[in-house]
Amino acid sequence: MDYQQTIHWSVDNVGEKTFQAAVAEAGALLREGKLVAFPTETVYGLGADARSDAAVASVFQAKGRPSDNPLIVHIADKQDAALAAAAITETAEKLMDAFWPGALTIILPHNGTLSTKVTAGLSTVGIRLPDHPAARAVIRASGCPIAAPSANRSGRPSPTRAMHVAEDLDGRIAGILDGGPTGVGLESTVIDCTVEPPLILRPGGVTSAEIEAVIGTVDVDPALSEEEQPRSPGMKYRHYAPEAPLTLLDGTTAFMHEQIRASRERGERVGVILTKDLAGESGADREYVLPAGDTETVARELYHALRTFKETEVDQIFMQVIAGEDLGFAVMNRLVKAAGGRVLTENRTF
């Protein structure tokens, strides 16, 4: 469905009356089966009534996304998990108590009340209670469990600002609730609690170490091949890709400079994502300077950085790989997908 006008509401640093009016209007649209984008602490989500086949089908249409990938169901309160789950395991209960509201999606058996387009025909569903007041308020106002993948065109970097949503979906959805930049910047961690030990299907805002501190040992699932049916969002098809090709560099700063120089000698316009200690010295045509080099900052800024480089301005983007486990692993998971697997490694001798 195309809209002549997508409504924009600002709920970032506004008064309570303005906030409630925007939330009420957005919630009413969701009840009517229309699509509304809203902020969470991870990325912006594109919401639809999870019980409605027509509403959920319009999500796939707006995103240009194949319909064989399951969607995460978002709820406003912990007890609302019963709107989607057939049963809640003891392990899942512990995780909910520890991390909800927060960046953790828990996979459980579904109760049959959701659209099969949400579950992609599986017997399970991913459920999340987001840690953003605007998200919970609009879900509560809708009176629905809300299916909400990231609010971007399929394959594009996920949106961490309302302007990113507008770039991709203006005219395709009913409304955008602008709550300012998101805090985490990466999608939620997805954990399957229907198996023992529980299985992390997607790394994200909650680390495996944090999870293991609560429930003990968990396994981490390797990425599924494209021939297999995905059990979690973000496990199939090209994801997070900027307009210009991204190449990851595994090596020293000198190696990065060498690759930038070689690319420019081929007549390419080069962009680079780097930390402020390297700013102005890369030799690239355009730099995106991260405000800090810690993993949390990289995660928060990553998708905005990828969206900054337009194909009309650069032909190639370079970024050095991110070291570290847990959140660093989650960042690299997104970067490798954004780069289409292109990683250049320096040949070093010691």
> What's the pLDDT tens digit per position in 291-331?
988 999 999 999 999 999 998 999 999 999 988 778 999 99
Q: Do 126 and 82 belong together in one domain?
A: yes
Its pTM stands at 0.92
Q: Do 293 and 181 belong together in one domain?
A: no
- What is the arithmetic mean of pLDDT over 30-34? 97
Q: Do 194 and 260 belong together in one domain?
A: no
Dump pLDDT digits (tens) for 63-100: 998 888 899 999 999 999 999 999 999 999 999 999 99
Contact (Cβ atoms closer than 8 angstroms) between residue 292 and residue 299: no
Contact (Cβ atoms closer than 8 angstroms) between residue 276 and residue 223: no
**How many angstroms separate the CA atoms of 76 and 306, rounded?**
31
**How many angstroms separate the CA atoms of 153 and 337, rounded?**
16
pLDDT at 222 over 80: no
Angle at 162 between CA 233 and CA 125, to 5 degrees: 20
In the chain, the number of structural domains is 2
Provide the percentage of residues in the chain whose pLDDT is more than 90.
Answer: 85
Contact (Cβ atoms closer than 8 angstroms) between residue 329 and residue 206: no
Dump pLDDT digits (tens) for 230-280: 444 444 445 789 999 999 999 999 999 999 999 999 999 999 999 999 999
Res 238: pLDDT: 56
Band the pLDDT of 30: cuts 50, 70, 90: very high
Domain interval for residue 315 = 246-345
Res 5: pLDDT: 87
Q: Do 289 and 334 belong together in one domain?
A: yes
Per-residue DSSP letter, 24: H
Q: Which residues contact 196 (CB under 8 A, 6 or more apart)?
A: none
Q: Do 113 and 256 belong together in one domain?
A: no
Q: Which residues contact 260 (CB under 8 A, 6 or more apart)?
A: 270, 272, 282, 283, 284, 318
**How many angstroms separate the CA atoms of 200 and 207, rounded?**
10
Dump pLDDT digits (tens) for 104-160: 999 999 999 999 999 999 999 999 999 999 999 999 999 999 999 999 999 999 999
Judge whether 169 lies within some domain: yes
Judge whether 233 lies within some domain: no
pLDDT at 1 over 70: no
Q: Do 148 and 271 belong together in one domain?
A: no
Band the pLDDT of 214: cuts 50, 70, 90: very high
Q: Do 42 and 149 belong together in one domain?
A: yes
Res 326: pLDDT: 83
Judge whether 235 lies within some domain: no
Judge whether 88 lies within some domain: yes
Average pLDDT, the chain: 92
Q: Do 162 and 59 belong together in one domain?
A: yes
Burial of 181 (0-12, 13-18, 19+ CB in 10 A): middle
Res 209: pLDDT: 94
Q: Do 137 and 193 belong together in one domain?
A: yes
Contact (Cβ atoms closer than 8 angstroms) between residue 144 and residue 31: yes
Q: Do 207 and 121 belong together in one domain?
A: yes
Judge whether 289 lies within some domain: yes
**How many angstroms separate the CA atoms of 338 and 187, rounded?**
14
